[in-house]
Chains A and B, each alone.
Chain A
Amino acid sequence: MAKSGKPKLAVWKFSSCDGCQLSLLDCEDELLAVAEKVDIANFPEASRAVVKGPYDVSLVEGSITTPHDAERIHRVRRSSKLLITIGACATAGGIQALRNFKNVNEFISIVYANPQYIETLNKSTAIADHVHVDFELRGCPINKYQLVEVISALLNGRKPNIPPYSVCVECKRRGTVCGLVSHGSYCLGPVTQAGCNALCPTYHRACFGCYGPKETPNTASLSALWEASGVPQEDLVRLYRGFNAYADAFRKESEAHEQ
């Protein structure tokens, strides 16, 4: 607790685009209510001021990609009572985990003029691969209503309503017409966790899998459907290699189609 008696909340950034932190800023009205209830001790997107730990709650954005990060996350963990990861980078390694399927040194030599200055790990990994995580909030980016829900649940000592079922459930509740069935779209909704309120399917786009694998995801059956309709193996690989490419179920499925 801070001197004010309010819980101290810190936001930490690792390898990421800051989009999830921006979701917190995007809360606007709710952010004021959050600020009333908690002391925001560290929030790089909002302010440079850093209040010393320990912290009651740490929200961690980003994946671990450098030796420095791999060490820093332990310090964050040590100074946090509750550690919550936010977004696909922190929960699955993010889009940058695409490099995990290749040799990172080859990329470095192509991308950087002076590769000798680059110090990086072979793989981009989720925070939970390094330290104990109390709750994972999925999404690329996270949904601000889900974030407020998690914070509100924490403040009130209740379980957050963050269901792990499919995007299809949200699709049907909205009355959105299924694009997979009515247009033959390659929708990852049936294997992806809900949370976006079926944003893409409602705007006639197939689900990209931003929220990562749902509970008991049956990727093999979904792939078999598309294989039967003639989707080439390399396209199946690409389908599962998005923002959550290194989430277990999606990684295994894409690897199963790699020749």
Chain B
Amino acid sequence: MFQVAVTAMVYRIETAAVQSLIEVLHQQNYSVLGPTLRDGSIVYDELHDASDLPMGWTEEQRPGYYRIRKRNDEALFGFTLGPHSWKKFLFPSISKLFSASRNAKGFNVLKDKAEPKGGTKPLAFFGVRPCELHAIEIQDKVFASGDYKDPQYNNVRAQVFIVAVNCSHPAETCFCSSMGTGPGVEGQYDLALTEIIDEKQHFFLIEAGSPKGEQVLENIQHHPAEGNEVSKGEDVVRTAASNMKRTLDTRGIKELLYENAEHPEWEKVGARCLSCANCTLVCPTCFCNTVEDSTDLGGTEATRTRKWDSCFTLDFSYIHGGNIRTSTKARYRQWMTHKLASWIDQFGTSGCVGCGRCITWCPVGIDITDETRVIRDNNGSA
């Protein structure tokens, strides 16, 4: 699972070709989005050219801790993941669903003036990590399959061009190996990159994963990679895998969590948890949202807005008669059990891809892998 796919042809491109790649995508009318340095962190934003990439930067991540650090080389992808995930583009944090105006009989839905005809520019995601590719696939199951497809999500998603990147430097918080989602790229992408960098050389391996990808590749300078170059790429991923220290034992995880709903650990973690919701908002698969209706002062226009919500807020579980998860313990248990267990029943896959964001961006450093370990080690049902 760690090797660079053998079926597709592997090519070599020079570092300068990364700029050409961005240019070609721009020429094809894509809005190119990718990692860039901002506010002491690597975030996802518009890339105007290759100089917007965080060249020579990496980060240090621990539970509740994130700092960027200078590398001693010019790697373009020598980091892993920041606080943003691609979900902010596919499933925006705040989006208007519709507005309506009052008329004599009731109301009529207003045509959206803000949305230009023919839609907005298609998006190119530049630098999608293996775990993120899986996270997008998971959100596809939520928003783009089954009987109720989300039109907003699908309109954007259908046109996305994905440039994936194999991981070379897992963060201390990464555990994709445990979740079977990395550190090598697998799944649906248009192009996949592997960065090779050492004292002597700096170049990229590139593979096309779709006709769209091939067509972009045709427009940039590339050569078939030589055997030793291909094996260097395989080494990158293999080293990344062996450098990954954090693990989550997923054996029988569904049953484990279902059987331990009354485990004393929930009380303990509930005492530490701030119910701040950061973990869910940084998670690339969490999809919960709330719908807010608002009116103008005159009561003639109303707007319905969708916003990211979280199972950590009290109102999230508000039903007629009150909130059903008033304790933080119950909210944490709900989150973790959904993520790792009931998600499997619901969508046929784990809700966790092992990106570690919830660990890093939890102010008090609560660690989903530790919590799983504690529950497994004192399995109440065993």
Residues of A within 8 A of B (CB): 30, 33-34, 36-37, 148-149, 151-153, 155-156, 158, 161, 163-166, 168-169, 172-178, 180-183, 187, 189-191, 204, 215-216, 218, 221-222, 224-225
Q: How large, as a class, is the contact surface on chain B?
A: 35 or more
A173 to B91, CA, bound (A): 11
Residues of A within 8 A of B298 (CB): 33, 36-37
Q: Are A221 and B314 within 8 A (Cβ)? A: no
17 other A-B residue contacts (CB within 8 Å) besides A152-B299, A222-B274: A155-B299, A156-B299, A158-B293, A158-B295, A168-B281, A169-B281, A173-B308, A174-B93, A178-B66, A178-B361, A178-B363, A182-B83, A183-B40, A216-B275, A216-B326, A218-B275, A222-B363
Question: Which A residues are in CB contact (< 8 Å) with B308?
Answer: 169, 172-173
- A216–B314 contact, CB under 8 A? yes
Q: Which residue of A lies closest to B42 (CB)?
A: A177
Q: State whether the Cβ of B297 lies closer than 8 Å to any Cβ in chain A.
A: yes
Distance of B312 from chain A, by nearest CB (Å): 8
A181 and B299 form a contact (CB under 8 A): no
A168 and B276 contacting across the interface, CB-CB below 8 Å:
yes
A165 to B278, CA, bound (A): 11
Q: Summarize A's interface: helix, strand, loop or mixed.
A: helix
Contact with A along B358-375 (1 / 0, CB 8 A): 001101110000000000
Q: Using Cβ atoms and an 8 Å threshold, which residues of chain B touch A148?
A: 297
Q: 5 closest Cβ contacts across the A-B interface?
A: A172-B281, A190-B276, A173-B93, A177-B41, A165-B313
With A169-B313, A218-B273 in contact, is A175–B294 under 8 Å at CB? Answer: no
Please state if B274 and A151 are interface contacts (CB–CB under 8 Å). no
CB-CB under 8 A for A182 and B274, given A165-B314, A215-B313, A222-B364 = no
The minimal Cβ–Cβ distance linking B309 to chain A, given in whole angstroms, is: 8
- A165 proximity list for chain B (CB < 8 A): 277, 310, 312-315
Which of A30, A156, A181, A225 is the most central at the interface, judged by chain B CB atoms within 10 Å of its CB? A181
Minimum C-beta distance from B313 to chain A (A)? 4
Contact A166 B299 (CB under 8 A): no
Measured CB to CB, the residues of B under 8 A from A are 38-41, 43, 64-68, 82-84, 88, 93-94, 271-278, 281-282, 292-299, 307-308, 310, 312-315, 326, 328, 360-361, 363-365
Give A180 Cβ to nearest chain B Cβ, in Å: 5
Min CB distance, A231 to chain B, in Å? 14
Q: How many Å lie between the Cα of A180 and that of B281 in the bound state?
A: 16
Identify 24 residue pairs between A and B in the complex whose beta-carbon atoms are under 8 Å apart, listed by A's number.
A33-B298, A37-B298, A152-B297, A161-B293, A165-B312, A168-B276, A168-B277, A168-B281, A169-B313, A172-B277, A173-B307, A174-B93, A175-B43, A175-B88, A178-B66, A181-B83, A182-B68, A191-B274, A215-B275, A218-B272, A221-B273, A221-B274, A222-B274, A222-B364
Chain A residues near B297 (CB, 8 Å)? 30, 33-34, 36-37, 148, 151-152, 155
Cβ of B167 to closest chain A Cβ, rounded Å:
21
- Minimum Cβ distance to chain B for residue A6 (Å): 12
User: Is the beta-carbon distance between B313 and A173 smaller than 8 angstroms?
Assistant: no
Q: Which residues of A contact B292 (CB under 8 A)?
A: 161
- Per the bound structure, the CA–CA distance linking A225 and B271 in Å amounts to 13
**Most-contacted residue by chain A among B292, B297, B326 (CB, 10 A):** B297
A156 contacts B295, CB within 8 Å? yes
Is the CB–CB distance between A169 and B310 below 8 Å?
yes
B314 shortest CB reach to chain A, Å: 5
Instruction: Return the chain A residue nearest B275 by Cβ.
Output: A216
Task: Return chain A residues, CB-CB under 8 Å to B40.
Answer: 177, 182-183
The interface residues of chain B lying within 8 Å CB-to-CB of A216 are: 275, 314, 326, 328
Question: Which of B38, B82, B277, B326 touches A166 (beta carbons < 8 Å)?
Answer: B277
- Complex Cα distance, B82 from A175, in Å, reads 11
Q: Chain A: which residue is nearest B316 at the CB level?
A: A165
B328 lies within 8 A of A173 (CB): no
Q: A33-B297, A156-B299, A177-B43 are in contact. Are A172 and B282 (CB under 8 A)?
A: yes
A182 touches B67 (CB 8 A): yes
Residues in chain A near residue B326, CB distance under 8 A: 216
Contacts of A169 in B (CB 8 A): 276-277, 281, 308, 310, 313
Tell me the complex Cα distance, A16–B278, Å.
Answer: 34
Bound CA–CA A33/B297 (angstroms): 7
* Residue contact B360 to A152, C-beta cutoff 8 Å: no
Residues of A within 8 A of B94 (CB): 173
The answer for the CA separation of A216 and B312 in the assembled complex, in Å, is 10
Q: Are A163 and B315 in contact (CB under 8 A)?
A: yes
Provide the residues of chain B in CB contact with A30, threshold 8 Å.
297
CB neighbours of B360 from chain A (8 A): 181
Let me know if B278 and A178 touch, CB within 8 A: yes
Q: Could you tell me the distance in whole angstroms from the C-beta of A171 to the nearest C-beta in chain B?
A: 8
Minimum CB distance partner of A149 in chain B: B294
